[in-house]
Amino acid sequence: MLRVSAAPRRRSIVLALLRGVWRFYARFVRVLMSVLFGITLLFLGVLFLNYVVLSTSKARAYRNLDPSAPVCRDGLATGWTILADLGRDALRNAKEPDDGGWVDASNDEAAALARDGGWGTRLRCALQRHVVPAVKPENKSLDYHLGFLEFQENGEPYALVAGGLGMQDKAIDSAMLGNAMQREMHRRSAPVAEIRPVLSQLDALRDHFASGSHYVLVFIHGWRHDARIGDGNVADLRLYAAHAARFLAQRCPLEPSYCDMKVTALYIGWRGARVDEKGLRAYFGNAIGGFFGDLSAGATLFDRKPVSEAVAPAAISALRTIEGVLTKPGTDGAAHNRMIVFGHSLGGNMLATGLKDDLIKAVRRHRFGETLPNVLGNLVVLINPASEATKWTAIQREVWNRTAFHTDANTGPADVARDQRLFPDDQRPVMVSVTAALAFPAGGLRAGDCAWIGLDLDDGYRMAREKIRRRLANTDTMFASGVDYDWATHDLFPTFKFDFRPAAGYLDRVAARIEGRQPAGESCTAGARAGLVARAETLPIRTLALLAETFPFQNSAPEESHTIGNLDPPRPAAGVLADAYPSAAPFGTTHELLGLHAAGAEAHNPYATLADAAIDCPVANRWLTRARMRRQESFGQFWDSEDLAAPAPGLAGQGRPAAQFLHGQHLTGIAPITRANDPFWNLRAFDNALSRHDGYRLTSFICAMNQLVMDDITQAPTRMERMMIDESGMAARMSAP
Q: Using alpha carbons, select from 396, 307, 300, 298 the residue that is nearest to residue 349.
A: 307
Quick one: pLDDT band at residue 52, thresholds 50, 70, 90?
low
708/655 Cα distance (integer angstroms): 12
Q: Are 428 and 439 in contact (CB under 8 A)?
A: no
Mean pLDDT for all residues in the chain: 88
Q: What is the 3-state secondary structure (H, E, C) of 304-366?
A: HHHHHHHHHHHHHHHHHHHHHHHHCCCCCCCCCCEEEEEEECHHHHHHHHHHHHHHHHHHHHC
Cβ atoms within 10 Å, residue 737: 6
Residue 38: partners with Cβ closer than 8 Å, 6 or more residues away: none
Q: Are 34 and 283 in contact (CB under 8 A)?
A: no
Higher pLDDT, 293 or 154: 154
CA atoms within 13 A on the CB side of 553: 0
What's the whole-number mean pLDDT along residues 606-622?
96
Q: Give CA separation, 259 vs 242, 251, 256, in Å.
A: 15, 8, 5
- SS3 state of residue 588: coil
DSSP string for residues in 145-197: EEEEEEB-TTSPBPBPEE--TT---EE--HHHHHHHHHHHHHHHT--GGGPPP
200/299 Cα distance (integer angstroms): 33
Residue 555: partners with Cβ closer than 8 Å, 6 or more residues away: 494, 497, 498, 499, 561
Res 686: pLDDT: 82
State which H helix or E strand residue 279 sits in: helix 277-297
**Does the pLDDT at position 184 exceed 90?**
no
Q: Using alpha carbons, select from 319, 389, 443 the residue that is nearest to residue 565.
A: 389
Q: Are 657 and 623 in contact (CB under 8 A)?
A: yes
> Could you tell me how many residues make up the chain?
737
CA 542 remoteness from chain centre: 31
**Does the pLDDT at position 377 exceed 80?**
yes
Res 462: pLDDT: 92
pLDDT tens for each residue of 222-256: 999 999 999 999 999 999 999 999 999 999 999 99
pLDDT tens for each residue of 579-604: 999 999 999 999 999 998 776 678 89
Q: Give CA separation, 435 vs 288, 350, 588, 706, in Å.
A: 31, 16, 12, 17
Higher pLDDT, 80 or 514: 80
pLDDT tens for each residue of 402-424: 998 888 888 888 888 888 899 99
DSSP string for residues in 666-735: TTTEE--SS-TT-SEEEEEE-TTTSBTTTB---HHHHHHHHHHHHS-TTPPPPHHHHHHHHHHHHHHHHH
**Does the pLDDT at position 729 exceed 70?**
no
pTM (2 d.p.)? 0.90
State which H helix or E strand residue 593 sits in: strand 591-595
Query: Using CA of residue 298, residue 303, residue 304, residue 306, what is the dihedral sign?
Result: positive
pLDDT tens for each residue of 636-692: 999 999 999 999 988 889 999 999 999 999 999 999 999 999 999 999 998 777 877
Residue 418: partners with Cβ closer than 8 Å, 6 or more residues away: 404
Q: 156, exposed or middle or buried, with CB in 10 Å at 0-12, 13-18, 19+?
A: exposed
315/24 Cα distance (integer angstroms): 60
**Does the pLDDT at position 100 exceed 60?**
no
Quick one: pLDDT band at residue 1, thresholds 50, 70, 90?
very low
pLDDT tens for each residue of 481-492: 555 688 889 999
**Does the pLDDT at position 18 exceed 90?**
no
**Does the pLDDT at position 5 exceed 70?**
no
